[in-house]
Amino acid sequence: MFASEVLGPTVDRLAELTGGGRALEFAIGTGRVALPLTERGVPVSVIELSKPMADQLRTQADEAAIPVVGGDMAAARVPGEFQLVYLVYNGISVLLTQAEQVACFRNAARHLAPDGRFVIELWVPELRKLPPGQHGVVFGSAPGYIGLDTYDVLRQQVVSHHFGFDAEGGREASLFRSPHRYIWPAELHLMAELAGMTLESRHADWMGAEFTAESRSHVSVYRTASPL
């Protein structure tokens, strides 16, 4: 996700969507997207729950460059109005209930100027790969790494398991797990409607590829109502 062919189009598209206005990032992490976006001249503010993440960001940008409000992206408030709120790389799925995810949409809407945009990048759940009785899908593999998702389809929950190991056959291994609530693309439309927003565009990636039934992810742009 740090590769220039991925990050470049992401920043290009977000800079375009700001239209010269201010941007707010939910869950900035260490600043992968916000730092190059500020280098384009876009003023970026941040909501970030994790203090260690915010501390990492502070090694690269001070408060004047990127103001940070500590808190939950579903509830925390940043002063002012923004032309763009964005939440990238599956960030909304770390909110583990539908109510929290709806609250996230509403919080984005509270921050947006009239005719502002909320951008979400999210993966498409791979339930089509699950035969009856199977609960796990390998989503990635490379030398020294295997990624496995296990699904609870009743509760719409998924846990991503990241296995690291010595590709040369050694015994050292590591495991990191992250829980998520997966969201169908159409379900996002209802969340947006509850927050007073409508879908403006949806593509399979940041470069504008067509979103189809085979797409593994999407970039969706929701828009607030224009002033009368």
**The pLDDT of residue 202:** 97
| This model's pTM is above 0.75 | yes
Report the distance separating Cα 60 and Cα 16, nearest Å: 24
Collect the ranges in the chain with pLDDT lower than 50. none
**The pLDDT of residue 29:** 85
Name the nearest CA neighbour of 30 among 48, 43, 12.
Answer: 48
**The pLDDT of residue 169:** 64
DSSP codes of every residue in 51-64: HHHHHHHHTT--TT
Contacts of 225 (CB under 8 A, 6+ apart): 114, 115, 196
CATH number of the 4-124+183-224 domain: 3.40.50.150
Report the distance separating Cα 25 and Cα 86, nearest Å: 5
Instruction: Give 170-184 pLDDT, tens digit per residue.
Output: 677 899 999 999 999
Report the distance separating Cα 198 and Cα 202, nearest Å: 11
Name the nearest CA neighbour of 17 among 47, 39, 31, 37.
Answer: 37
